[in-house]
Amino acid sequence: MPNYSNVAGDSTSILIDDGLAEELRHNIVTKLLGDSPLPAHCCIFRVPDLIRRLKTAAYEPDIVSIGPFHQGCGEKFQLMETVKRWYLQCLLSSRTDISLDSLIKGIMELGRRARDCYADPLDHLSQRDFVQMMILDGCFLLELFRKELWAGLQDENDPVFNLSCMREYLYHDLLLLENQLPWFVLERLYNLTANNTYQTSASLTKLVLNFFKQFVFDDRISDLNLNLPFEILHILDLIRTVTVVPFKNLESQKKEERVEEQEELENEPELPQRIPNATTLSEAGVQFRRSKNTPDCIMNIEFDFKNGVFTIPPLGIDEKTGSLFRNLIAFEQCYHSRLDKITSYAVLMDNLIDTSKDVELLRERGILANWLIPENAAQFFNELYNDTPVIGFYYGRLRRDVNKYYNTYRNTWMGNWNNWMGILRRDYFSTPWKVISFFAAVILLLLTLLQTIYTIRRP
């Protein structure tokens, strides 16, 4: 017979079944967690559904799975799984100073730390399977990067290098957030397999950047001498780091400028507004110029309030660029110690580009190198950061200066003058042919006028 307890309330009493209460307590206690479900050291994530839902293909590999998230996900990876085993066999057979035992021991020492880098539980992978995966995937990446740098290591039977499309697919797949290995795993394997002067002449960072230099925003990244400000987490993090490290961000402002900016923020009566698009700004007299610094970080966008000049480093976009941007943004959204710098860049470019007219204007100024049709390029920026909030917008001061300039001049005689001059520059002086056509039309009009006057005055 159940044992009941009498619990008195303010106006009523409640009978509680002690046996049921004990069972509930036991069930709840067994489901409590002693550790955080997402520890701070996690740095490799599955892209959240809210981010991936609009462009699923941008976050999923096409031909190769790296790490545990897409392992065994279908026949499309079978060729590259075979290539991985072949690469490892070639590595071991060509070098007497490398043994499989040393690779196994080296990675087993990092096993627990490496597993902890992944945000999802890896209960389906035993220690044996996890270590085997790290060795196969890691050695495949290192040999791939070495073959790219030293063509003499390439084999004529290697499908990666004798099929022209393969590297394009690999560029995409190896820069996915879900397709990463911890950087310290790559470093350990690099140190175990680069035991001669020939191999050690290129650091791991140089190997990686050399491979991706044709794919990322600046093909000179492999020649940059950067002092990386923090520990690299994985390959995608390295690409983000070399993109944003040269960025002249808020931390580089003088102290008094930062105080002034904070005061402006406190005095703003409303939330920050979008800036007008490039066409609208151009009609208001704002000039757009390509940055003359070579090389320059794509994020070093500046606005000269006094002269109304936007200076923007060039950016090439094609069907591959979107996936890289999206995965960098997803990484910033997921990892606590990477600020929203790439996301801020995407937001600013989306502000400037609304339609194909904005794309054409920036292309004519040498700012956009666009291999998409203008309508698709505009849509590219409009959809780039959907469902991704920005914490700490890095162009806040620039945005306020642009809006202040636009609002100050558009309703004044100077603003009207700038508007007309902007339209004139955009429609008639943007290219040498338009200039020639404009003056030819003016001359033709004058000749027609003179001929008319001459005809009227003839006796």
Euclidean distance between CA atoms 290 and 310, whole angstroms: 8
Task: Give me the pLDDT at residue 426, please.
Answer: 56
- Which range scores top for mean pLDDT: 67-71, 243-247, 421-425? 67-71
Euclidean distance between CA atoms 181 and 445, whole angstroms: 68
Euclidean distance between CA atoms 206 and 223, whole angstroms: 8
Per DSSP, helices labelled H in 45-94 are 49-52, 78-94
pLDDT band at 234 (very low <50, low <70, confident <90, very high): very high
**What range does the domain containing 5 cover?**
1-32
pLDDT per position as a tens digit, 134-166 = 999 999 999 999 999 999 899 999 999 998 889
Euclidean distance between CA atoms 397 and 389, whole angstroms: 19
Q: How many domains does the chain have?
A: 3
For residues 196 and 279, membership in a common domain is answered with no
Task: Give me the pLDDT at residue 64, please.
Answer: 97
Tell me the pLDDT of the chain averaged across its residues: 83
Averaged pLDDT for residues 187-204:
83
For residues 360 and 392, membership in a common domain is answered with yes
Residue 301 maps to a domain: yes
7: three-class secondary structure by DSSP: strand
Task: Give me the pLDDT at residue 258, please.
Answer: 44
For residues 203 and 285, membership in a common domain is answered with no
Task: Give me the pLDDT at residue 441, please.
Answer: 76
pLDDT band at 192 (very low <50, low <70, confident <90, very high): very high
For residues 113 and 229, membership in a common domain is answered with yes
- The Cβ-side half-sphere exposure at 457, using a 13 Å CA radius, reads 6
Residue 454 maps to a domain: no
Euclidean distance between CA atoms 365 and 51, whole angstroms: 32
pLDDT per position as a tens digit, 115-131 = 999 999 898 899 999 99
Residue 315 maps to a domain: yes
Residue 161 maps to a domain: yes
For residues 314 and 358, membership in a common domain is answered with yes
Averaged pLDDT for residues 384-408:
87
- 282/426: higher pLDDT: 282
For residues 76 and 221, membership in a common domain is answered with yes
pLDDT band at 202 (very low <50, low <70, confident <90, very high): confident
Euclidean distance between CA atoms 225 and 309, whole angstroms: 30
> Is residue 63 pLDDT above 60, yes or no?
yes
Averaged pLDDT for residues 87-91:
95
- 273/303: higher pLDDT: 303
Residue 339 maps to a domain: yes
Residue 154 is which amino acid?
A: Q
Backbone angles phi, psi at 156, to 5 degrees: -65, -20
Task: Give me the pLDDT at residue 323, please.
Answer: 93
